[in-house]
Amino acid sequence: MIPTVSATGPGHTERIAVFASGSGSNAERIIRHFAQHPTVQVTLLVCNKPEAGVRAKAAAAGIPELLIERGRFLSGDAYLPELKAAGISFLVLAGFLWKVPAALIEAYPRRIVNIHPALLPRFGGKGMWGAHVHQAVLEAGETESGITIHYVDEHYDHGDHIFQARCPVLPGDSPDTLAARVLALEHRHFAEVVERVVLGSEGVSG
Ligand SMILES: Nc1nc2c(c(=O)[nH]1)N[C@@H](CN(C=O)c1ccc(C(=O)N[C@@H](CCC(=O)O)C(=O)O)cc1)CN2
Ligand SMILES: NCC(=O)N[C@@H]1O[C@H](COP(=O)([O-])[O-])[C@@H](O)[C@H]1O
């Protein structure tokens, strides 16, 4: 049983920062999931790619953004002052492509989660993002794939698993067709798993 973060007390609001680098379909669903929630809110988008489509999705939802630069994030204060000033209590990585540095890991112990588009521990690590993951799964001849939602530690895709869900790999699958099937699992499960972790409910499992 994976211990989860402490439950929120009455009147306490958990403020989530979503970190994303791409189109933001997961970020958008997480924002919508918590839009009317009484004690959990997405209050910040953190993005490292000015061209990322997630920025427009967050703006349309009225979510403030923080655009970050590689040097300060990876080797400086990791924008921790801005996160603390915004009252951020939980970080959700939704297609974020930089390694979260130790400064944030230490500031947010067991309060950073990531979604990976494969069944870890296989098909993870440096270079394993987006279509690269699905290409590797296909090249390995796997008959199933899926998603892993996990706590974030200082290594890529290494933290304790919180949740996994599976889908078939079908004959003739391309990286794109497999990606679409895996993304549907992400859209089905990620926000609900985040809510259970943030609210501290036990028994989060696949
Ligand atoms: N400390 C951690 N940081 C991050 C984790 C993590 O588990 N621990 N997960 C990643 C998300 N991710 C897989 O789920 C992942 C993202 C990116 C890479 C990667 O190889 N990135 C490239 C850079 C790509 C770019 O800048 O466009 C690299 O590091 O060379 C691997 C896994 C988020 N952060
Ligand atoms: N290893 C990290 C990684 O590959 N993350 C993946 O990036 C995509 C982001 O899609 P989105 O921008 O539409 O949410 C998602 O499929 C997510 O699993």
- Say how many domains are in the chain: 2
Structural domain harbouring 206: 114-206
Q: Are 179 and 103 part of one and the same domain?
A: no
Q: Are 128 and 201 part of one and the same domain?
A: yes
Q: Whose CA is nearest to atom 21 of ligand 1?
A: 97
Tell me if 7 is assigned to some domain. Answer: no
Q: Whose CA is nearest to atom 9 of ligand 2?
A: 95
Nearest-ligand number for the alpha carbon of 151:
1
Phi and psi at residue 50, to the nearest 5°? -55, -25
- Tens of pLDDT, residues 43-79: 999 999 999 999 999 999 999 999 999 999 999 999 9
| Residue at which a domain ends, from 49, 83, 109 | 109
pLDDT at 137 over 90: yes
- Tens of pLDDT, residues 157-185: 999 999 999 999 999 999 999 999 999 99
Q: Whose CA is nearest to atom 6 of ligand 2?
A: 95
Q: Which atom of ligand 1 is nearest to the CA of 70?
A: 26
Catalytic residues, which ones?
116
**pLDDT at residue number 3:** 45
pTM above 0.90, yes or no: yes
Which residue in this structure is represented by tokens 């974020």?
A: 96
Q: Are 97 and 122 part of one and the same domain?
A: no
Q: Which atom of ligand 2 is nearest to the CA of 25?
A: 13
| Residue at which a domain ends, from 86, 109, 132 | 109
Of the residues 68, 98, 106, 152, which should be mutated to test ligand 1's pocket, given the most ligand atoms within 8 Å of the CB? 98
Tokens standing for residue 201: 């409910």
- Tens of pLDDT, residues 1-13: 454 444 455 678 9
**pLDDT at residue number 94:** 98
Tell me if 6 is assigned to some domain. Answer: no
CB 80 within 8 A of CB 100: no
| Residue at which a domain ends, from 66, 81, 109 | 109
CA end-to-end span of the chain, whole Å? 12
CATH number at residue 72: 3.40.50.170
CB 112 within 8 A of CB 100: yes
Tell me if 58 is assigned to some domain. Answer: yes
Residues sharing a CB contact under 8 Å with residue 63, sequence separation 6 or more, in sequence order:
18, 31, 42, 43, 44, 45
Alpha carbon distance 204, 145 (integer Å): 20
Tell me if 5 is assigned to some domain. Answer: no
Alpha carbon distance 94, 30 (integer Å): 9
Q: Are 31 and 102 part of one and the same domain?
A: yes
Q: Are 129 and 142 part of one and the same domain?
A: yes
ipTM: 0.98
Tell me if 4 is assigned to some domain. Answer: no
Tell me if 3 is assigned to some domain. Answer: no
Q: Which atom of ligand 2 is nearest to the CA of 23?
A: 12
Tokens standing for residue 19: 């970190």
| pLDDT grade for 82, boundaries at 50, 70 and 90 | very high
Residues sharing a CB contact under 8 Å with residue 177, sequence separation 6 or more, in sequence order:
170
